[in-house]
Structure 1
Amino acid sequence: MPTSRRTVSIFAVTGAVAVVAVVTAVVLLGGRPPEPPGRDTKIVASASSKAADAASRAPAGSAEHDAAHYLSDQPTAVWLTPEADPVDVVGERIAQLATEARAQSARIAVVVYGLPERDCGGQSAGGLDADAYVEWTQAIGQALRDATDTSPIVILEPDSLALAPECGNVPERVAQLGAAVDAIGAESTWIYVDGGHSDWLPADEMADLIEQVDRAAHYGRGIRGFATNVSNFMPTSDEVAYAHDVAARLDGLHAVIDTSRNGAGSNGEWCNPPGRLVGEPGGTIGDSVVDTNLWIKPPGESDGECNGGPAAGRWWDEAAIELTQDVVVSD
């Protein structure tokens, strides 16, 4: 979205809000600076997940129930979309997550997924128009500032940057994501933009895209870093190496890695590939560049209408059973 007077005014407003958020964070955290994610980070396992809903509907003792029940217990990021969480309800959704996080002594982790021309018309096509997207991300930012004591983690628009060169919309994507960082940013909120994965864009190209977003953001601290392997299956060791390669071209940025479905590695497919397994639990790795790993893509939710799956984001019992076959034993 080209910079306009309206966009500049939004930056000014969100910058003022960010100053208030810094003061609020210091008060609520007892004067201590908020801690970034790291090894042993625990994120909320929400009772309103699709896995929990599937477990409640499946017959007790069935393979469908056991797989869904296992997955519902795993700390997993919650995806916010304008279709499921429009601007008038997204704040309440985040407040509910914050209540759950406090009860579990965990942190909120959300995926913001609703930018204009989302997924470039692919399996997850949709999103908001430019003005509505600004309004929606501002609502998300305010709700996260109200939950500052949970030190929220935000994965901002998976695939948006890695897809941008192919879609021919790099300037628009950079402007949109920079404005979203301004709308969501706060001293206690840790934002990671799209970092693709190790078998997608070369590290130098990915780093350049990430740096453009970081420069476009007017909020003081900008982004914490980038997220790799979101909704993909690349081995953790490959992603750690890739994260280091990308970060070496950036100034002090860090990474998180999605390990929700990479337990069997990749077969080269990205859309509901068969034979995959859940990966290592979140919070089990971390170093000077990789803050930690998280479950970002909820296992059991379809990638799209491919390899026999339902529409993107819909629960798929067969996938849940296959992904958990090595960790769940059904009667």
Structure 2
Amino acid sequence: MSRLIRIRTLAALTVLGLAAACSSATDVDEASVTGADSRKSDPAPSSSPFWVDPDSPAAQQIELWRREGRTQDAELLRRIADRPAAQWPAGEIDPGPDVRTATAAASAEGRTALFVAYNIPHRDCGQHSAGGAADADAYRQWIGSFADALGESRALVVLEPDAVAHIVDGCTPGEYHAEREQLLGEAIRRLKQQPHTKVYLDAGNPSWIKEPGKLVEPLRRAGIAEADGFALNVSNFQTDDATKAYGLRLSRDLGGKHFVIDSSRNGNGPLPGVWCNPPGRALGTPPTTETGEPAVDAYLWVKRPGESDGTCEGGPDAGQWWPEYALGLARNARS
């Protein structure tokens, strides 16, 4: 998480914590698992090589709730705090300091840092996560700083969620398609200059571009051949089974490319028609590299559980910490 987002999160923790008592948000809903409150949090699985941020919003929320006497809720939230989730350095500032901080901490523990690079120009078609670099040169400078900060540390980077899928669905205007594909290819090559960095180019999710074959040529033009693979289901709720089946079809079309799956919030699958802060969702498969499928390199928590999708369903701005939604995800989780 960037310093900018972290500062906003810290400020929001107290405000949202005070508001929680009168909130009717998603902490208790019809999808809650009976008796889940009494279950203990499981530690991060040994099959996960990824670094856990000890200063994450979830970890800070636990301390706040403990001071307030909400010990049962604090214990449930360990299901998020004790597991690795990606860092999303913000585009408004140089990502280098935040990337170096995370990689240094991960390296000290012999772990791999997990990142999302999300700053492509014309990002998110002006929707909840609109923004991105001002132009192509600004993006090249940003991704160069990102890569320099990775150094020789072990890292996994999910590159530009939505960027390719928005080319396919036409949300990104046609005059930007060629530039975007060129920038993605340059970003892959620049990141892969770091000797211990893996790069997975985002490829949407099964409910978005329903025919995976439509992604093949845009992914190729964007340099997928030089990446370690592609990423699916980032910030979405499609089940592991549906996403894996979709990914295997796309993998075959790409000559056997491997992929990773974001399982952060898919424990109850999607809520039809609602992609932004849907109620009743649950944490999914904990991060692991033991997937049981050779083409699936990992299940990851790319979306940080508990951070809002946007100002919908009563949520704060996109990327802001929402403790009661986080609690709902943890309470509904199967483990």
Provide the aligned C-alpha RMSD in A. Answer: 2.1
Find the partner of 1:155 among 158, 164, 174.
Answer: 158
In 1, Cα distance between the equivalents of 2:334 and 2:212? 37
Aligned to 1:311: 317
**1:81 corresponds to which residue?**
90
Q: Residues 63-92 of structure 1: CA distance to partner in whole angstroms, max 9, x if unpaired?
A: 654444431211111112223xx22xx222
Q: Distance in 1 between matches of 2:87 and 2:228?
A: 19
TM-score (norm 2): 0.78
The SS at the match of 1:79 is coil
Q: Does 1:193 align with 2:201?
A: yes
Residue 263 of structure 1: CA displacement? 0.4
- The TM-score, its normalising length taken from structure 1, stands at 0.79
- Measure, in 2, the Cα distance between the counterparts of 1:214 and 1:196: 16
Partner of 2:100: 95
Gaps of 5+ in 2: 1-45
Q: CA deviation at 1:318?
A: 1.5
CA offset digits 1:270-310 (Å, max 9, x no partner): 10001000001111414221112111101000000011110
Quote how far apart the aligned CAs of 1:327 are: 5.0
* 1:243-254 pair list within 5 angstroms: 243-254=247-258
For each residue in 1:155-194, what CA deviation from the matched residue of structure 2 results, as whole angstroms up to 9, or x when unmatched? 0011111112322343232122112112222342111111
What does residue 177 of structure 2 align with?
170
Whether the aligned pair in 2 keeps the contact of 1:286 and 1:292 (CA below 8 Å) is no
Match runs of 1:181-260 below 5 Å: 181-186=188-193, 187-201=195-209, 202-214=211-223, 222-260=226-264
Deviation for aligned residue 1:258? 0.4
Q: Which amino acid aligns with 2:166?
A: L
Question: Does residue 105 in structure 1 map to residue 113 in structure 2?
Answer: no
Cα deviation digits, residues 122-154 of structure 1 (max 9, x gap): 10011111221111100111111x2x242x100
Please give the alpha-carbon distance, in whole angstroms, between the structure 2 residues aligned to 1:41 and 1:65: 23
Does residue 138 (structure 1) correspond to residue 141 (structure 2)? The answer is no
- Alignment-derived partner of residue 125 in structure 2: 120
Query: What does the per-residue CA deviation read over 1:197-247, in whole Å, with 9 as the maximum and x for residues that have no partner?
Result: 1111111012222111117xxxxx720111000000001001110110001
Q: Of 262, 273, 281, which residue of structure 1 is paired with 2:278?
A: 273
**Cα distance change of structure 1 residues 142 and 98 upon mapping to structure 2, 3 Å threshold:** same
Corresponding residue for 1:44? Answer: 51
Provide the secondary structure at the position in 1 that maps to 2:157: strand
Measure the CA separation in 2 of the matches of 1:253 and 1:95: 29
How many Å separate the matches in 2 of 1:106 and 1:292? 15
Maintained 8 Å contact 1:301/1:314: yes
Pick which of 56-65 and 102-111 moved more: 56-65
* Cα contact 1:64–1:320 (8 A) shared by 2: no
Aligned length: 279
Counterpart residue type for residue 154 of structure 1: V
1:177 partner letter: L
8 Å contact kept, 1:230–1:258: yes
Cα distance between partner residues in 2 of 1:241 and 1:328: 22
Amino acid of the structure 2 residue aligned with 1:200: W
Residues 42, 234 of structure 1: CA spacing in aligned structure 2 closer, same or farther, 3 A cutoff?
same
Structure 1: runs of 5+ lacking an equivalent = 1-38, 216-220
Measured in 2, the distance between the counterparts of 1:157 and 1:67 equals 31
Equivalence for 2:6: none
Secondary structure of 2:309's aligned partner: coil
Distance 2:256 2:250 in 1: 11
Deviation at 1:328, TM superposition (A): 9.7
